[in-house]
Each structure stands twice: as structure tokens, then as C-alpha cells.
Amino acid sequence: MSVVRALGRVCGCAVLAVAVGTASAQEKVAQLPIRTDGPKSLDPVVGSTVYDNMACAQIYETLLVNKYAKPTEKEPLLLAEMPVSEDGGKTWSLKLKPGVLFHDNACFTKTKGKGRELVTDDVFYSFKRLADAAYELESWWLLKDTVEGFDEFKRIQNWRGSMPERASWLSNQSPETFKKTLFDRELKNRLDTALKDKDEDEVAEITRKITEQFNKDLTPADLDTLAAEFANQPAATFEAAEFDYAAPVAGYRKINDYEFEIELVAPVTRFEWVLTMFQTSIVAREAVEKYGDDFFRNPVGTGPFMLESWTPKKDLHLVRNPNYHEVMYPERGEWDRPDQRNRLHRAAGQQVPFLDRIEFTMYAQDQPMWLQFEAGRIGYTQVPDEYFPQAFDKRTKELLPSVAARGIRGHANKLLDFIFRGFNMDDELVGGYGPKKKALRQAISLAVDLNEFNETFYSGLNVVYDGPIPPGLDGYPEGGTSSAAYQGPNLDLARSKLAEAGYPDGEGLPPIKFYTQNGGNSPEQTELLQRQLSRIGVELDVQLVDFSTLIDAVNKKNAAMFSFAWSSDYPDGENNLALFYGPNEAPGANHYNYKRDDYDEMYEQILTMPAGDERTAIMVEMRDMILEDVPYVGSMARERHYVINPWLLNCKPTERYYAWFKFLDVDDSKRPER
């Protein structure tokens, strides 16, 4: 009996070995699309587009990440646990997950190419890169005015090189900027020399002089004089060291290799969301230094995949990181009912990634992407509007039975969009806060029928809603409508409001200068807007311009009315309410130049409040304040529909974040034969 058992075991082991051998020989590969030309850079600090995000999020990782099963919530990724604050959100204690290794790469000379462990210094180094002007400060806005001493660090470190042209640039800046910039430079150069010579009297004297000089308000004449002096300085005066990553920042405090603290200027709720954004991903310093200008195509991170090849505008191939740290697929309980029905919980509790390779292909046009999906050659695709009726019932937005019968799954995502047409509140004609001025904007808003826009240009797929807070976030009105809104079409009320504004039937109202981009279907959308407004006698002076001219006109406050869209950076209504915060006025994100002290006070209040009913109530009050003042006509948000081929498993596409590709798996038996 024992011999038979032993034989059985041997045979069993042999069969298992063959099976394992076959399985390991069969690579798991997913072919996935990137709509448009794809990423521009694989360096997170210079990335800005969703395609940069999509690529970077597979290679690098952030301290926190959105949850795959519930993307509006977050969880630790490179951290061992969620950050803790014991002083109401001003100082945060963070603990790194031990044993997280960077990708193996030739840049790690000390370890002969083996990826080393991630430590606290890597976090500080990666964050400091955001402040380095060599990367054009593309992502600086994320940590601007946020971390104690970081803005000062940025200013001091970026003054290097001698460029007399900067003087003329400086003289065009606000006195505040000029003062700060010059002061820092003086401080850095003159004091450094005095300190080097250990001349305490000189140090005291220079400090006193500088303080005296810049404590008074500067007139334009002072600025000119200073600019001239500045320009006449010998080049060597302004030569400073390279950006010094070792220089301390008061708000970054290292405890040990795995623990550190971050002190903020003031408690800000959004800080944790900043730690989920791909621009704050942790990079290997050795790689940045080794590859220099070519780091953007030689990325080294800690992510689940490593770059194999990247041909811009063509494809991007990633391979599994064999040293990926412990990250598990979400547990069954985290998935809601519909997701469980779609078997999204099937891999619960298993180590990721499942795929050996991901092959992204860039599609500049929709037809080839759609045909490749139909042929079963790519795992999923966003459904372009013109192909929507081929996959979904337009009325119910359900997958067509013929499509579902092929095992294809559908999935919809409401985007955090805020599509609007804004007013410049500083404009003489349409701006202002008096009853007549408000009545004019209310009349315009009441004359616009957003549903007609939705049907005509978006196949009725967009969500029309009141207020600036998009669907799914605290502060979004129930059912999308608020009683405070002047949502059209209500032509009778619009006409009476117009009369109230002093322009009965539009008489005496000059054409309103409306700036919009000349690409896509903007000209057609503008035609419709003109037609709708003409019903109450309002005329537009349309300026169809390219994007840079549009931005320029808005930033210089030359556009009375303009067409823009905003996509939330993180899932918190605060992000959208910031668009109306006075200090953010143009050229900042407050393109409307909306300024109300009571609104600003409330905004500052919610910035530091934890999420909850009290915060939401204030946000609703702010929203209704905006709706009453009508600094824009809106709003709409896009709803994106996806179709997923049966061979791609665990797929729940979301555009809130892109670090979810590691959860994907494939079942090759369900692929169509080629």
C-alpha cells in the first residue's frame, strides 16, 4: 500500500511539475489601449496628463493610493499605515513600509544593479524635485504654500546662474515678489561671504541694511532703480551652488530610515490626497543622477512593473517587477454587490501583480482602437461617442444583449468634471455683485439649455447638474439640482431678469465678448449658445481662438465670458470650490475673479476641517452662494463608458487614479483565436 501511495505521490508530483512548468512558460500578457499619443514623459514631476499618470503609476508608487474597490477612499501603499496627526492635521507622522525595493537597474552601482531599499531620504528627495526649477515646476502647485519652510527652500535653491535679463523680468513682477526674490539673493550671496569670513559685525550690518531696505513699500521708481542695480552686478555676484537637495526643509523631519514627520504651514485636509497623486511618486536618486536629461525614459521606481520599451506615440511595454513588495488584491468584503456579481472579488487576498507583461498601444484615432477591441486584441476600451450605439442602448445606457452575449462587460464612470462657461467678475459689462449685474448673469444662465447641448454634442451621455461640485462628491446637490440655481431654459424668467438688469429684450446691451477655443466642436457649440441667447436678445461677440490665446485672454482678464472645463485633481469638493477663492484670481485658477470675503472665510474654514456633516453644510452654503451670484453658466460632467473583453479579468476601469493595472489578470482560454 505504501509503495502504491509513494508511486502515486511521485506521479502526482511529476504531473504537478509539468503543469507548473507549462504555466510558468506561458506568460500572462495584457494588451491595453492608450487613447491619443500617450505619455510625454515617464518622470512623474514633469508629468501632467492622464497618459503620463497612466504610464508612471505602473512604474512608480506614491505613499498613499486610492482603493481599487472604492476609488474615493485611500489606503497606504508605500507607507506601513495611514499617516497620523495628533495636532489636528498640522504635523503628520509617517512610517514607510520596510522591505520595499527599487527596480533592479544599472544605476545602483553599490549593489551591482540590484534595487536597494526605499528609505525616508528617498521621500524627501522626490518631494524636493517638485521644487527644483530644472523640472519647470510643473507639479509645484501640489505642495505650494503647504509644507513648513518648503516655499522658502524652493526660492533659495532656485537662484543660481547669472542672467541680467532676469532683472527686467523681476521689475515686471509685483513688489512683493521682487522684494522676496532680491532679498533671498542678497541674503544668500552677501551673508554667505560674511559668514565665511566670520565677520559678525558685517553680518549684523548687512542684515540690518537689507531689512531696512525692504521693509518699506517700494514704488515703481524704486523697482526700476533696483532692477538697474541688479542688472549691473558682475556675473559672479549671482553665481550660486546647484540645487542643494541636502539643504534642510523645516517641515521635513527625518526620525530614522523608515519614519519621518511632515509639518504643514496650516492643517490642510487635502494633504493626504496630495500623497496619492502620481507627481509625488518616489523615484530613485541614483537613476535621476545617472540618466540626467534622459531619466524621463529610463524610469526607476518601486512599482509593480518595469519599463521594457517605449516608442513615443506607438507603444509602451512593461514587464513585471520580480521584487515587488507585498500588495494584496482587495478582500471580498470591500467590493459592493454589482462588483461581486461581475466576479471582481475572484482574486481576493492574492499577491499582485498577476500579469507578466502589459503592452500599451497608443491610438490617435478611435476607429483602429475600436476595431482592435472588436477583434478581441485589446482587453478593454473606452467607448468613443460615435461607437456608443454599437455597444450600449442609448436610452437605458445598458449593454446591448448581442454584445453581452459575447461575454463583454460594460462599465460606466462619472468623471469629476466641471464644464462651464465663465464670466469675468471684474468685467465692466458682465461682472460685479450689484443686483443689476447679478440679474444680467442670471438672465443669461436662464436662457441656456444645457440639455440641448448634452443631446446635440454628447449624445445625451453627460450629466447636467447645478453648482461647481461634480457628481459623487460631498456638496453635490441631491439629484443634481439645487433650488438656488438659475438653471435654464426658463425664457420668461430670463427676460424679466434681463429687464431687471436694465436691458429689456436685450435693448442697450452691447455684444458680450465670448472667448472659446477654435478646435473640436467649439464653433458648433458656440453657434448653439448664440442661438439660445438670441431668444432673449443677448448677442455674443465670439472670439474663436487657439488654446494659448484663450488662456492669455482669461489670465489678463480680457475675456468677459469664456468657455473652459475643470477636472478635479482629487475627489474632494474643496478642490472645485477653490476655483472661486479670491486669492486664486487670474492668472490663478479663479478665472472668474470671483471675490467675496465671506466666501473666502468659509473656504479657509473647510480647508482644515475633517470630512463630515459640518464641513459638507458649509460647502453647500458656498455652492449656493456661487449659484446665486452666477459667475458661470453650467454645469456638466462627462460619463465615460467602457467595454471589457471576457479574457481580461479583475477589470474595473477608473479615471480617478491609474495604479490599478496591477490588479488585472488574463484568461487566455477566452481569447479569440488569431
Partner 1 sequence: MWAYLVRRLLYYIPLYLCILLVLMLLLRIDVDSAVAGQLGKQATPEQIQLKKDKMGLNDPFYKQYAMFLGDVFTLSFDQRSWEQELPVGEMIRKALPPTLMITLPSLAFTAVISIAVGLVCSFNRGRFLDRGLMIAAVLGMSVSYLVYIIIGQYFGAYVLGQQHGITPFEIEGYEAVFPPIEGSDGAWFVPGNWIKYCALPVIIGVGVAMGYDTRFYRAVMVEECARDYIVTATAKGATSKKIMFVHMLKNAMIPIVTRIMISLPFLIAGSILVEMYFSIPGMGRTMITAINGKDFPVVQATVAVFAAFVIVTVILTDVCYAIVDPRVRLS
> Which residues contribute to the site for partner 1 (CB under 8 A)?
37, 40-41, 46, 48, 133, 136-138, 140-141, 163, 165-166, 169, 173, 293, 296-297, 311-315, 361-365, 367-368, 371-372, 374-375, 377, 546-549, 551-552, 554-555, 564, 587, 589, 591, 674
Best CA proximity match to 412, nearest among 425, 430, 431, 393: 393
CB of 32 to partner 1, least distance (A): 14
Using the Cα atoms of residue 420, residue 426, residue 429 and residue 434 in order, give the sign of their dihedral: positive
Distance of alpha carbon 36 from alpha carbon 314, whole angstroms = 10
- Residue 639: how many CA atoms within 13 Å on its side-chain side? 17
CB of 136 to partner 1, least distance (A): 5
DSSP labels, 108-145: -TTTTTPPPBP-HHHHHHHHHHTT-GGGTTTTGGGTTT
Q: What share of the chain is helix, strand, coil (3-state, %, to 5)?
A: 40, 15, 40
DSSP at 585: B
Between 69 and 415, whose beta carbon lies closer to partner 1? 415
Between 550 and 627, whose beta carbon lies closer to partner 1? 550
Between 313 and 436, whose beta carbon lies closer to partner 1? 313
Between 131 and 447, whose beta carbon lies closer to partner 1? 131
Rg of the chain, C-alpha, whole Å? 29
Element (H, E) at 185: helix 175-186
CB of 629 to partner 1, least distance (A): 22
Between 374 and 466, whose beta carbon lies closer to partner 1? 374
Assigned C-alpha cell, 192: 554667505
CB of 483 to partner 1, least distance (A): 32
Cell numbers 526674490 correspond to what residue?
181
CB of 420 to partner 1, least distance (A): 13
Q: Which residues make Cβ contacts (< 8 Å) with residue 155, sequence separation at least 6? A: 180, 181, 184
CB of 161 to partner 1, least distance (A): 9
Best CA proximity match to 397, nearest among 385, 405, 408, 389: 389
- Residue 493: how many CA atoms within 13 Å on its side-chain side? 14
Between 276 and 361, whose beta carbon lies closer to partner 1? 361
Distance of alpha carbon 94 from alpha carbon 261, whole angstroms = 6
CB of 231 to partner 1, least distance (A): 14
User: What is the identity of the amino acid at 167?
Assistant: A
Between 138 and 334, whose beta carbon lies closer to partner 1? 138
The answer to whether 345 and 339 are in contact (CB under 8 A) is yes
CB of 363 to partner 1, least distance (A): 6
Between 610 and 672, whose beta carbon lies closer to partner 1? 672
